[in-house]
Amino acid sequence: MALSSRPWFERLNATADQVREKRVESSDDLTLWTAYVEAHREIERQRFEFYKRSQDATTVLRTALAEHHTENEHAALTYAKDFVADVALLPVLVEMAMTVRYLPDARHAIANIPRPQLIAALEALFDTKLQALQDSDDDYYARWAELLVHLQAWPMLARLAERARTSGNPEVQEIAAWITTEYGPMLALEGWT
């Protein structure tokens, strides 16, 4: 009986074929990964060029952020998240931070704005938005609370909690209770109990 006709030999050959196929797949994976790394490197180079050479990055980014659900908008948000964002972008970034789709990246982009500029501009924007909040806007109360916690903007969070606590909507009142429970020590430092 020939060696090649034995069952164990056939299984061994089948296993060897599978190993060869895996090597080919691994080689393809490596090729794909190398292409990805090259593309990533090019993106980084182009972002740095834009950062270094753009004459009016804020206008370009504001325009791109207004193009909802496009690659242009996504690229602008990613750029603002990864680089120092201009305070002029704050209103549009705050609006984006109020939506589930954009909130993590928008929060990071907002946090990239230099803090002294951010807090002053956010105070004015927050006061306007707080006055406009209705009892039915429980989602906005929650998103504002999350944003203010992310930014460690405790005085504004205290004002939001106070407003939420006096709401006629039990869900909004729950947000006030959550803020107090989770961030009470920080609010106490601001004189709110």
* Cα 23 to Cα 36: distance, rounded to the nearest angstrom: 20
Residue 72's Cβ-side half-sphere holds a number of Cα atoms within 13 Å equal to 9
pLDDT at 192: 55
Give the model confidence (pLDDT) of 131-143 as tens digits.
998 888 889 999 9
* Cα 126 to Cα 73: distance, rounded to the nearest angstrom: 24
**CB contact set of 132 (below 8 Å; sequence gap of 6+):** none
162 falls in which pLDDT band (50, 70, 90)? very high
pLDDT at 69: 85
pLDDT at 54: 92
Provide the strand spans (E) within 24-178.
Answer: none
Give first-to-last CA distance, the chain, whole Å. Answer: 90
187 falls in which pLDDT band (50, 70, 90)? confident
75 pLDDT exceeds 70? Answer: yes
193 falls in which pLDDT band (50, 70, 90)? very low
Q: Calculate what percentage of the chain has a pLDDT beyond 70.
A: 84
pLDDT at 37: 93
Tokens describing residue 179: 């803020």
User: Which single residue is written with the structure tokens 């794909």?
Assistant: 32
Give the model confidence (pLDDT) of 6-59 as tens digits.
565 566 566 656 655 555 556 788 999 999 999 999 999 998 899 899 999 999
SS3 call for 135: coil
Per-chain mean pLDDT for the chain: 86
pLDDT at 98: 94
